[in-house]
Structure 1
Amino acid sequence: MVKTPVQPTQSISLEQFLAQPETKPASEYINGKIYQKPMPQAKHSMIQGELVTTINAVAKSQKVAIAFPELRCRIGDRAIVPDVVVLEYENIPRDAEGNLENVVNQAPDWTIEILSPDQSVTRVIDNILYCLNHGCRLGWLIDPEAKTILIFQSQAQPIFVETGTEDKQLVTPDFLPNLQLTANQIFDWLQKTSCMNQDSKESP
């Protein structure tokens, strides 16, 4: 079934948008208009959760970065909510006492988007490129249905990776040299055995 893409609302200012209550699913402010993200489905949520856990197992233990799910970032004249935001420790906003601040006024150091079936591919890529133009080091676009990953880096050609091919290590940020991920590993999280193993871990 062909799904109708989410249409933007009327144009408002960024300040007006940020003053509005948060929506579920989250809404983004792009080029003066509001776009609500699609509701995450099972494949999307599984990959998102496993990525955050896997990245933080390395990043937090080494105190170099933290991965956040669905974190709003105000970048230039946009306010977007990537599916996974990775920030280096030194770039995590904190108050004078060292506690986390809620507001992030910068691009992620690593932005990860997981494509939903009714989501515009070009609009998601545009958000990734916008982040790269505002200081982001690395962007991933994961397509759970096609089982492909597009990797974006500043001043470099995108890299296309699909599962089932030679299972090379994916490009990760230079501040996480010990993080090792492959396309097969990511899409294996969607397999029945992976889900069963996850269920067994959560059982008492």
Structure 2
Amino acid sequence: MDLELRTLHPPRYREFDDDFFFELCQANETTKLERDANGNIILVPPTGTETGRYSFELSVEIGFWNRRTNLGYAFDSSTGFKLPNSAVRSPDVAWVTKDRWDALSEQDRQKFAPLCPDFVVEIRSSSDELKALKDKMEEYRDNGCRLGWLIDRIGKQVFIYRQNGSIEIKEGAIVTLSGEDVLPDLTMQVNL
């Protein structure tokens, strides 16, 4: 579905501030919403069950790694993060180092944490435009994300976004991914 068709624009005379957006999300808890850096609200449709299953399995692997290493905190796709550019995004999987999370106040943890995750995963579903997801990955990186995986099962590719600006593309039915120095000792094979 075209991203523009899923976007609500704020009135010119009023901006949707952080509190309003958080309350809007809470009042509509069955509707997944994101906010772009311009204050536009984006409706994010639910994924199909196959994408949901795939996302869950990936989350479990990262969760097991995180439990074993105890280096940070992992988050699911329903978690919103307020990026430094003011966008509020909900990656399919996110991870934040322990020291960055522990530095947040309890109040910041209860709403949309004001930070960009150190690691994110976005999984393309049939309703996602690849360009929009690539733009989102660039946004994460521009806001401090150190490593990101964009898994495009439709195109049978994984785009690896690194903090240094590089993008590596891996192709094939089965791809081996590494957490590199961000998630040390994490290696996993993903089926595309």
Q: Output the TM-score relative to the length of structure 2.
A: 0.81
1:118-149 deviation digits (Å, cap 9, x = unpaired): 22222222222111112110111111223321
Tell me what 2:58 maps to.
51
Going from structure 1 to structure 2, the CA distance change for 1:107 and 1:4 (only over 3 Å counts) comes to closer
Given the alignment of the two structures, is residue 118 of structure 1 paired with residue 122 of structure 2, yes or no?
Answer: no
Tell me what 2:23 maps to.
19
Considering fraction of residues, name the structure with more strand: 2
State the aligned residue count. 180
Tell me what 1:66 maps to.
73
Residue 68 (structure 1) shift: 1.2
Residue 23 (structure 1) shift: 3.9
Going from structure 1 to structure 2, the CA distance change for 1:93 and 1:122 (only over 3 Å counts) comes to farther
2:55–2:92: 8 Å Cα contact kept in structure 1?
yes
1:143-192 deviation digits (Å, cap 9, x = unpaired): 12233211111223211112237x5x42424142211113xxx227xxxx
| 2-structure distance, mates of 1:40, 1:22 | 17
**What is the identity, as a one-letter code, of the residue corresponding to 2:60?**
T
Given the alignment of the two structures, is residue 140 of structure 1 paired with residue 153 of structure 2, yes or no?
Answer: no
1:170–1:180: 8 Å Cα contact kept in structure 2?
yes
| 2-structure distance, mates of 1:149, 1:175 | 18
Residue identity over aligned pairs, in percent, reads 21
Aligned pairs for 1:71-110 (under 5 A) are 71-76=79-84, 77-93=86-102, 101-103=109-111, 104-110=113-119
Classify the secondary structure of the residue corresponding to 2:170. Answer: strand
Going from structure 1 to structure 2, the CA distance change for 1:93 and 1:102 (only over 3 Å counts) comes to farther
Aligned pairs for 1:146-157 (under 5 A) are 146-157=155-166
For structure 2, the 5+ residue unaligned runs are none
Going from structure 1 to structure 2, the CA distance change for 1:102 and 1:7 (only over 3 Å counts) comes to same
**What is the identity, as a one-letter code, of the residue corresponding to 1:117?**
S
Classify the secondary structure of the residue corresponding to 1:61. Answer: helix
Given the alignment of the two structures, is residue 33 of structure 1 paired with residue 40 of structure 2, yes or no?
Answer: yes
| 2-structure distance, mates of 1:144, 1:43 | 11
Tell me what 2:7 maps to.
8
Q: Please list every run of at least 4 consecutive aligned residues from structure 1 whose deviation after the TM superposition is greater than 6 angstroms.
A: none
User: Cα RMSD (Å) of the superposition?
Assistant: 2.5
Going from structure 1 to structure 2, the CA distance change for 1:134 and 1:4 (only over 3 Å counts) comes to closer
1:110–1:139: 8 Å Cα contact kept in structure 2?
yes
**What is the identity, as a one-letter code, of the residue corresponding to 1:29?**
R
For structure 1, the 5+ residue unaligned runs are 189-204
Q: Which of the pair has more CA radius of gyration?
A: 1
1:48–1:69: 8 Å Cα contact kept in structure 2?
no
| 2-structure distance, mates of 1:122, 1:93 | 34
| 2-structure distance, mates of 1:140, 1:14 | 30
Residue 62 (structure 1) shift: 1.5
Classify the secondary structure of the residue corresponding to 2:69. Answer: coil
Given the alignment of the two structures, is residue 164 of structure 1 paired with residue 180 of structure 2, yes or no?
Answer: no
Residue 4 (structure 1) shift: 4.8
